[in-house]
Structure 1
Amino acid sequence: LVSWPLLGLVLAPLLLLALVGLWFRQRGAVFRLAGLLALAAALLNPVFLDEEREALKSVVAVVVDRSQSQDIGERTKQTDEALAGLQQRLGRFKQFDVRVVEAGKSEAAEERTETRLFGALESAFRDVPPSRIGGAIMITDGEVHDAPAGTPDFNAPLHALITGNDQEKDRRIRFENAPRFGLVGKPLEMTYRVIGTNNEAGSIDVRVSVNGEQVSVERATIGQAMPLQVTIPGAGRNIVELAIDPEPDELTDTNNRAIALIDGIRENLRVLLVSGEPHAGERTWRNLLKSDASVDLVHFTILRPPEKQDGTPINELSLIAFPTRELFVEKIKDFDLIIFDRYQHRDVLPILYYDYIAEYVEKGGALLIAAGPEYA
């Protein structure tokens, strides 16, 4: 295509000559002017456009809360009725493309404990340009766990239809701060909160249990973060449970309990090493275990079985009798690990003591048997 400045530069002198010819009434001036205008029209290339446009629909998202809290009372029925009403009314507007997204509908119980409506809202508009976003409507009970801290990054109208009613009562308790690990036998600092309905005030008794046994009853102020000290009784996994009594006509008592899983660890590892017979690797065991300052080692080597007697008076022996009862009955709970190194049953330990060792392992103790096929 010829640019406008270039076209004007070419046609201006020709147009001027044609006008001068008309002014002086020269023969053929009219035809020259007509030809010049035809040439200009051809160079301008006029085009007639006939466009057909169709307006794109605005997308409206309806986010439906299907979490566990929506199963309480009449909330499921209210949700279904509200959804049906919205679909009917929004269907009257041809300029809207309605998308229904359900959040918290997973069959896994642990995934239904949290309501992530804003994540579902984002997925509904993932393939929609910002200019086509018309708005969103949420049908929920108001418990949303992924709500943004500030103003939502959503530049469109956002509405919420709240299920339930303002007369519902529901107390719940939760841990505010629960460490994952704690030293055995040492107080562990924790924090919890009892939450009431409609800014409820007052105080309430909280039952504290550790591994299924109630250890105390705390007095808590509703709505405030309360400190709690719990002593971890043993190594391994420990269950700390808080519980409050349900009030009359409460929606559910499921959230009247809170559970924290805490792994108990020992400040020092107490190890009992029993060597069945002297060998070169015995020194390796001692060096390995004594190299760590956090390991408390108790080591016994069985140098002579009970049935072996050589007539030496007891007061002249430099050996002591193997303290089986003291180690495997009275103090077995004090050890975190028992190692049998090349030990074989030679009437040193009565059969009954193996039951004590089995009970020790069942309660979380560790047992290591270092032996080869010759001791099987």
Structure 2
Amino acid sequence: MQSFQIHTVYSPWYLLLCLAVGIGVSWFLYRKGGPWPTWLRWLLATLRAALVTLICFLLLEPYTRHVKQEEIKPTVVLALDNSQSVQLFTPEPQLQQTLQRTDQLADRLREQGIHVELQTLQNSDSTIAKLTGTSFTASTSNLHTLLSKSSNAYKNRNLAAVVLFSDGIHNQGPTPTFQSYGTSIYPVALGDTVPKRDVVLEEVQYNRINYTGTTFPVVAKLRHFGFAGSTVNVQLQENGKSIQSKRVALTNRQQAEISFQVSAPSPGKKHYEVVVQPLQGEFTDLNNRRHAYLEVVKGKLNILLASAAPHPDIKAIRSALITNPLLEVEVVIGPFQSPNFKKSYDAAVLHQIPNSNGTGTDWLRRLRQANVPSLYILGSQTDYNSFNSLQAGVALPRSSTQYDEVQPILNSSFQRFSTEPIAQNRITAWPPAPVTFGEWSLAPSAEVILYQQVGTVRTTKPLLVYKPSAPAPSAVLLTDGSWQWRLTEAADHGTAQIYDELMTHMVQLLANRRNQKRLHVYPIKDEFEVSEGVAFQADVFNAVQEEIYGQTISFTLTHENDKQTSHRFRHEQGGEGLKLGTLPAGVYRYNASTRVDNQTYTDNGEFVVQEQNMEATMAVADHELLSQLAQRSETSLYYPNQLDQLEQDLLKEDFKAILRTKEEEKDLLEQSWFYLVLLALACTEWGLRRFYGSL
């Protein structure tokens, strides 16, 4: 049902006054008669009165209201866990029969006036027509994402229930039994809870960062069912070749642990595999292999964290930086301490230096002479005149004693390092921090990482800035209140993951860019999953280390099996870089080259695409998790042979359709049809007067 209404801001009784004005103007024009018959004079007077009345009516600020009512049927979502474990541990005939019966269930529910939607782990926001023929290829089971995606997508469409078809194996994301989804969950249990005769490589433990010239352990943990008294051969492989092998006796404890000692002679990324040789009678060998991806480095990056005075920021930043084992942090608090310049620094974090009291001026001079990349943190004690002279990427020509309380907003187009998908929401929840009020000027080569939000207004003012130019890269954080961000995130989520990653990535970006290469090509992440798209960005600099654009970059990718592929992409400001799509697991090395000023410049590096076969680790279904989901929703746990009972229970709930009213208001001045009415009245009057001999 729809209705169309016209309302006014002022009292509708004023319409009588508009009508009186229209009649008055019409009477004044046509009171003396004219060369028209009486009927025409009355018609012309009516047209003129209507025109003037409608024009005066606009003074009442009229607006239209379009009211639309629609009936929304109850929606039931049939959510299928199409992970690899479901197909692995469910007999194929039984699985296909269940999918066919589920599609039939959907058809019968639709016949009863219920809107049915189908969802899987991998179909994103798109809809699918039927579940029969679904491929079970999802490499992880994130039941929370499946349930939240189903409930969020249809929460405004009269969502009545979500029917979850799963084996209960959950190996990624929050545990669904502790989450709220705003609707009833009806679990249908797939898979088999009877353990199979199998040897499972449950876990491989290792240090992700190791140092050259040392040895480090790679520890494999086994679990087995039905093979007590047997022995199994476990190998440690590198690049497909066995480098160590051990025989392990399987006991009644059903668990075993094997440790390999590995040396690290040269730096770089390493890819090891622990492989358990299959035994006769094993249910599957998919869970007999796990990967270990680690990095061997020459030494840690030496980072100076210096402050002109004690401040809570120092504790927060230090706590963030020491979460990365590659960073060695030296903390110096003036005026009581001084940096140890006997060793060179890879990067420096300078808190309110340059300082209005002069503390740290000598430190800053020595760091600038050594071209040490620096992150400047500004605050109430900053000497802005001295800071502006540093040309660090942002400047405040006129300092002020006033402050804005601003919240950070992540710039999603900044791609020099990647952030977790949860970063945007977490960062916007950080509390406001003080920033000196003024018109901040941004250097042409500077890039904004965080913007300022004042209250509810998102601005284009910078809050965290990065400048890659010579003589050394720099970054600027415009507030000394970031310690509140770390405390808030840790209190809300139990960990300050996003704050810590932001600070460590920022320092690593500065430290790794200390060398003044003319070409810098880098992956947006050091490690990718096999399901992620691999992407690269590039920087090209002129002789004075100013970034330039427009070059064509040649790129060669080498897999660990020495297979090579060639690519080309154009370096554009704000461009997408090079997107390679998904790649098989392994350690990849790349070489890139371009020509600048008639010279060829090159860059190279490596990255990892990792795969962990999580789906085959659990050899039995977890119906207990599904039972807990049913208890929280006050429903029941069903099995594939109980779909008829599930249908009866759903229909017994007697889900109701709802009526939703949608109102749309629009100013009459913005609607073209009203002006067409005015034009029609004026043109009709004018045409009649002209046709009958007088204007």
Between structures 1 and 2, the one with greater strand share: 2
**Greater Rg, structure 1 or structure 2?**
1
TM range (shorter): 0.3 to 0.5
Between the two structures, name the one with larger relative contact order (CA 8 Å, sep ≥ 6). 2
TM-score normalised by the chain length of structure 1: 0.47
